[in-house]
Amino acid sequence: MKAWDVIVIGAGAAGLMCAAEAGKRGRRVLLLDHGKRIGRKIIMSGGGRCNFTNYFIEPSAFLCENPHFVKSALARYTQWDFIALVEKHGIAYHEKTLGQLFCDDSAQNIVDMLIKECETAGVTIKLRSNIDSVDQLGAGFSVTTNDDQYSCQSLVVASGGLSMPKIGASAFGYKLAEQFGLKVLPTRAGLVPFTLQPEDKATLEPLAGVSLPVVAESEDGTRFSENLLFTHRGVSGPAVLQISSYWQAGEPVRFELLPAGRLAQGISDHPNQELKTWLGHQLPKRLVEALLAREEWTRANITNKPLKQYVPKEVAVIEQLLSAWPLKPGGTEGYRTAEVTLGGVDTDELSSKTMMAKKVPNLYFIGEVVDVTGWLGGYNFQWSWSAGWSAGQVV
């Protein structure tokens, strides 16, 4: 059995960061992954340019059963630390929108940077390693793979969540946590497009390709000001991806297509314009046609006529339909297209400073396998860098 100080399972964002940091401290580190390539999710992230962090990282941008849990790691290894690393490696980057930082060239730059950091720190990376079993061995662990057996003092689980099984996602980390008696919170797809209810397909499917700025709001009052995109399968775009993480099955999502008060303004500015014409100047025309044909409009008896002819009660109804358009999704596209997995290893089981399991000394969980999910926009990678770095200081 080959002896290592540290074994990290998962050569993704969190695992690479942790392995490099531990190696820098002189620890002998083995990084195992069952895939053929290192950092596959990083490579396909951000449309191939990797949205690697965000200028505005803050704990409130993370979903976690214990919202305080993320504070320590995010404060110890910040977005500025990661930006400094990117700059040290001479990687050109830019802010796209809302503080989101992307590589100018390719996400491969970030993977190459992390591999270089690991190489400099003497980390051994072994791909195509399927983990057959993990057992406690004294104060450490034994790890048996398809072709070898190892022992280690510290074991770090960085195997990620369930999204995108095609590129290697597995439930390994959750099962391992349960094997060691740790609680795992229910998982579900996050940052994911919505599908439609059968009754919405006739009016909304023809809108595929239509995109517009909206405010999306979930039942718990969370709001995101971003773009909504209609697709052949349902609705997507950043507004939908963001709100999907706050959505519970069966609930409606509300979209502010036009802010309240805009119609009143329209009535005073263009009293003789018909509603449909006026709306056509405010919203994409195809969307206007589809909205007026929908049941909520016909049920409210809203017919097309000059704006000045609407009585105050009708104005209130129209304003409500436009400023809080309710859509009840059929579901989500699921892990096939989700960017992240909500839920995971319960943070109550872990030290927020080191990520070590409180009741299993020397066992660590970092990255997406933990019940921490960030907003769209570089927040999820920053969590992986911060958690990986924090564990890397102590393993």
Ligand X SMILES: Cc1cc2nc3c(=O)[nH]c(=O)nc-3n(C[C@H](O)[C@H](O)[C@H](O)COP(=O)(O)OP(=O)(O)OC[C@H]3O[C@@H](n4cnc5c(N)ncnc54)[C@H](O)[C@@H]3O)c2cc1C
Asked if 343 touches ligand X (CB under 6 A), the answer is: no
CB of 156 to ligand X, least distance (A): 11
CB of 46 to ligand X, least distance (A): 3
Residues 255-294 that bind ligand X (CB under 6 A): none
CB of 174 to ligand X, least distance (A): 10
Q: Which of 77, 381, 385, 389 binds ligand X (CB under 6 A)?
A: 381
Residues 160-219 that bind ligand X (CB under 6 A): 160, 163-164, 168, 170, 172
How far is Cα of residue 91 from the mean position of the Cα atoms in its chain? 24
The DSSP code for 105 is: S
160 HSE (CA, 13 A, CB side): 28
CB of 323 to ligand X, least distance (A): 31
Asked if 335 touches ligand X (CB under 6 A), the answer is: no
Reduced to 3 states (helix: H, G, I; strand: E, B; else coil), residue 194 is: strand
Residues 127-146 that bind ligand X (CB under 6 A): 131
What residue is closest to ligand X based on CB? 12
- In the bound state with ligand X, the residue whose beta carbon lies nearer, of 323 and 386, is 386
Q: Which of 193, 238, 343, 367 binds ligand X (CB under 6 A)?
A: 367
- 9-48 footprint of ligand X as x/- string (CB under 6 A): xxxxxxx----------------xxxx----xx--xxx--
Asked if 8 touches ligand X (CB under 6 A), the answer is: no
- In the bound state with ligand X, the residue whose beta carbon lies nearer, of 44 and 92, is 44
Q: Are 6 and 99 in contact (CB under 8 A)?
A: no
CB of 169 to ligand X, least distance (A): 6
Asked if 158 touches ligand X (CB under 6 A), the answer is: yes
Reduced to 3 states (helix: H, G, I; strand: E, B; else coil), residue 143 is: strand
Reduced to 3 states (helix: H, G, I; strand: E, B; else coil), residue 352 is: coil
Q: Are 326 and 254 in contact (CB under 8 A)?
A: yes
- In the bound state with ligand X, the residue whose beta carbon lies nearer, of 320 and 337, is 337
What's the first-to-final CA gap in the chain, in angstroms? 20
Report residue 12 as tokens.
Answer: 């993704």
Closest residue by Cα to residue 279 from 321, 216, 236, 328: 321
DSSP-based helix, strand, coil % in the chain, nearest 5: 40, 25, 35
Asked if 368 touches ligand X (CB under 6 A), the answer is: yes
- In the bound state with ligand X, the residue whose beta carbon lies nearer, of 27 and 49, is 49
Helical pair 13-24 and 108-120, crossing angle rounded to 10 deg: 30
Q: What are phi and psi of 248, to 5 degrees?
A: -115, 140
Length of the chain: 395
Closest residue by Cα to residue 239 from 252, 229, 230, 227: 227
- In the bound state with ligand X, the residue whose beta carbon lies nearer, of 226 and 368, is 368
CB of 322 to ligand X, least distance (A): 32
Asked if 50 touches ligand X (CB under 6 A), the answer is: yes
Four-CA torsion 94, 96, 98, 101, nearest 10 degrees: -40
Asked if 226 touches ligand X (CB under 6 A), the answer is: no
Cβ count near 379 (within 10 Å) = 28
* Total of residues contacting ligand X (CB under 6 A): 37
CB of 146 to ligand X, least distance (A): 10
How far is Cα of residue 113 from the mean position of the Cα atoms in its chain? 22
Report how far residue 22's alpha carbon sits from residue 38's, in angstroms, rounded to the nearest whole number: 18
CB of 226 to ligand X, least distance (A): 15
Residues that bind ligand X (CB under 6 A): 9-15, 32-35, 40-41, 44-46, 50-51, 131, 158-160, 163-164, 168, 170, 172, 339-340, 367-369, 378-381, 384
